[in-house]
Chains A and B, each alone.
Chain A
Amino acid sequence: MNGLVHGAVYGGVIASVLLTTIAFGIWFERKFAGRMQSRLGPTIVGPFGLLQSVADVVKLLQKEDIVPRDADRPLFDLAPVLAALFSLGVAAVVPFSPTIIASDLDVGVLYILAVGGLMVIPTFMAGWASNNKFALIGGMRAIAQSVSYGVPLVLAVLVPVILSGTLSVSGIVTYQANHHWFLTWPVFIGVPAFAIYYMAMLAESNRIPFDIPEAESELVAGVTTEYTGAKFTLFYMAEYVHTLVGSAVGAALFLGGWDGPFAPGLHWMVLKTLVLFTVVYWVRWSLLRLRSDQLMVLCWKWLTPIGVLLVLGAAAWVQFVPGGFQ
């Protein structure tokens, strides 16, 4: 019972903080994109354009709610809700500080992989239910993509699990706090594993160069082509939440989470998460989109074999290097 109350309170707080962060995250991305293209980004709405996302949401909620005549109504309505739910759900096991964690699951890593992997379901659901060719193609691409990035993602996440000997995310962070961040030591395993994780995370949250299901230049707006107003808002936010939470997971698994010099705690976790989050947008506004087949080649021919090698390397490290595993 205690755990339930704890989970509800912390979960509620974390979710609302995340959603607020997202509003400013979107503002930040637009500013950032603007600066990268020597524009200004939002400046007029509120100080420095800070209220831009608020205005967008107010506008979107007022729009007419259109459901295509031939759409599969229940699925069509359910998909955005599920997308928001799953993307927020991952945050439940992420330790934001030694004490701020909604639920310290023993199998936290497994939970992250499972719930994060579920994200593809609402995406395909939306594509299928819209009864629109662009949405459907987008949905099918999402499935093909998830099959490809899923394997390297799991392999990359296995590395910190093996190195620390625990499946609990806060356990992994504690281990790193007591020893080394996995990014810094063993560096020849940690850095490539982190790189693979980061790429797979980009693919999971549909960000350029892997935004193949949304591919604006080919598929209009991909799976969200038929969504208007409030439902589109949910999708839009889910995407950003997913990116943010994915960055937080990456920070926890590889960058030592809340660990840092001077005073370990929340601020280090937030800082690391936001740095990773910013890099996502740096990448997004610099690179081009890969084709579906290029993504498959990348995932199956490169990331997966390298991931297998890294898992073997991590196991060997733990087994044979003195002090590799305490």
Chain B
Amino acid sequence: MNESDGKRRLPRYDEAALAYEHPLYKTLLAAPGLSVSVAPLDLLLSWGTMNSLWVFPMATSCCGIELMSAAASRVDLDRMGTIVRATPRQADVMVVAGTITVKMAPRVKLLWDQMPEPKWCIAMGSCAISGDFYRELYSVVPGIDTFLPVDVYIPGCPPNPEALMHGLLRLQEKVKLARAGQLVAKEYPPNRLDITKPSIARLSDPARDPALSAAQEKSAGEATATDESDERGGGNASAVEPFAAETTSTDVEALLRELGVTEFPKDGAPIVPVEQHVTLARRLRAMNYRIFVHVVATHFPEKTGAKAAPERFEVAYALRSVGSGSKIASWRLSLATGQAAPTLVGVFAGADWQEREQFDLVGVRFDGHPDLRRIMMPGNWEGHPLRKDYPADKACTPWR
């Protein structure tokens, strides 16, 4: 720690790597006379470590495919003794290959903490390095070096397997130099096109505010602890009535007219009164429209001026009929602020998660849904990211 300039500096990771020593090795150093033997021993130890870098694959997206092919016949990481271990306890290098989301970051950190020292981290691909073109997205961590000490950056989108091999060779060099007591120059993330200023100081940045690290630790802890997305909440799906008996009619337009729809716009699905929504779904299901394709909610913010309009939400549904000559039936609901849509879970089981997703991202409530909780974002997330008024770049402090 360098306190002289008044700012606490995070340790450079290379020093931290040097700091870990096996207890036996420390005893050897301390014993008088024996420490002479350390020089040849060092050579042996670094030779062993260098040539047996076992990888923990933190592969979350497309880069992971390149990681896999690096182990296959063309490049064959096994040539240099690198194999993939499924458990962090037996791995030396964490290769983060892919986009890391805010929900994923605490898990990555957790797995990293499970790895035994000495350990290294490789950021593979621009997503891991800086968040790539997703970096301004509300849910993406802008570079894993905001919370993990990265040793080698491998730029590319995706980097090809040869580049990964090169990265590992570079890591070998680093291991060797570090063991020989030479401080390795800090790796800096590759230059980005400076479209936007980096919004967060990296772990290696001397100007980084220590409070930020603390806040990230805390937020990671909370996101892991309070995220209950695996536990089922209250509610009861079976309380919803079963759907109506089959009918043979196939004329969707006639059905819509019967339910009081008068306008059939050319450029979109008809808007159905909210009261008729569930009836419509039931009747359609009875008419062989059995596949729940999607529900998509859209937020229309309040407009002022010539075309003034209040804030509203539109929820679009689509069903597909089964069998040959499959057809699509779609309609929309128009909701005012705070108005809820009746759930379709009782009619289509597949509506359950899809409605949860729309609730999570847009904030539309679904009346009677048995288990309306967040599904994509961590449980303690604030706000609904796909609303137009959602501040995208301030989305998840302190990750950004």
Interface residues of A (CB under 8 A from B): 30, 34, 37-45, 49, 51-52, 54-66, 216, 220-221, 224-229, 232
Interface size class of B (residues with CB under 8 A): 20 to 34
B52 at the interface (CB under 8 A from A): yes
Closest Cβ–Cβ distance, residue B337 to chain A (whole Å)? 46
Q: Report Cα–Cα, A38/B78, bound state, in Å.
A: 12
Closest Cβ–Cβ distance, residue B142 to chain A (whole Å)? 30
Stretch at the interface among B41-49, B230-238, B246-254, B353-361: B41-49
Q: Report Cα–Cα, A220/B52, bound state, in Å.
A: 20
Question: Apart from A40-B76, A55-B50, A57-B48, what 6 extra A-B contacts exist at CB < 8 Å?
Answer: A43-B79, A44-B51, A45-B52, A62-B118, A66-B116, A228-B116
The answer to whether B72 and A221 have CB atoms under 8 Å apart is no
Q: Report Cα–Cα, A39/B75, bound state, in Å.
A: 8
The answer to whether A58 and B44 have CB atoms under 8 Å apart is yes
Q: Report Cα–Cα, A37/B78, bound state, in Å.
A: 12
The answer to whether B81 and A52 have CB atoms under 8 Å apart is yes
Closest Cβ–Cβ distance, residue B388 to chain A (whole Å)? 43
The answer to whether A58 and B47 have CB atoms under 8 Å apart is yes
The answer to whether A66 and B51 have CB atoms under 8 Å apart is no
Interface residues of B in 92-121 (CB under 8 A from A): 92, 114, 116-118
The answer to whether A45 and B51 have CB atoms under 8 Å apart is yes
The answer to whether B79 and A221 have CB atoms under 8 Å apart is no
- Residue-wise, chain B 44-69 has the 8 Å CB interface mask toward A (1 for contact) of 11011111100000000000000000
- Residue-wise, chain B 79-90 has the 8 Å CB interface mask toward A (1 for contact) of 111000111011
The answer to whether A228 and B89 have CB atoms under 8 Å apart is yes
Secondary structure of the A contact surface, majority rule: loop
| Residue from A52, A63, A224 whose CB has the most chain B CB atoms within 10 Å | A63
Interface residues of B in 191-206 (CB under 8 A from A): none
| Residue from B25, B72, B76 whose CB has the most chain A CB atoms within 10 Å | B76
With beta carbons under 8 angstroms apart, the residue of B44, B47, B86 that contacts A220 is B86
Query: Cβ of B118: which chain A residues have Cβ within 8 Å of it?
Result: 62-64
Q: Report Cα–Cα, A53/B50, bound state, in Å.
A: 13
Query: Cβ of A42: which chain B residues have Cβ within 8 Å of it?
Result: 78-81
| Residue from B44, B76, B85, B87 whose CB has the most chain A CB atoms within 10 Å | B87
Please name the residue on chain A nearest to B50 by beta carbon: A55
The answer to whether B90 and A221 have CB atoms under 8 Å apart is yes
B73 at the interface (CB under 8 A from A): yes
Given A34-B76, A55-B81, A64 and B86 touching (CB < 8 A)?
no
The answer to whether B51 and A64 have CB atoms under 8 Å apart is no
With beta carbons under 8 angstroms apart, the residue of A49, A52, A63, A225 that contacts B117 is A63
Query: Cβ of B51: which chain A residues have Cβ within 8 Å of it?
Result: 44-45, 51-52, 55, 59
- Residue-wise, chain B 23-55 has the 8 Å CB interface mask toward A (1 for contact) of 001000000000000000000110111111000
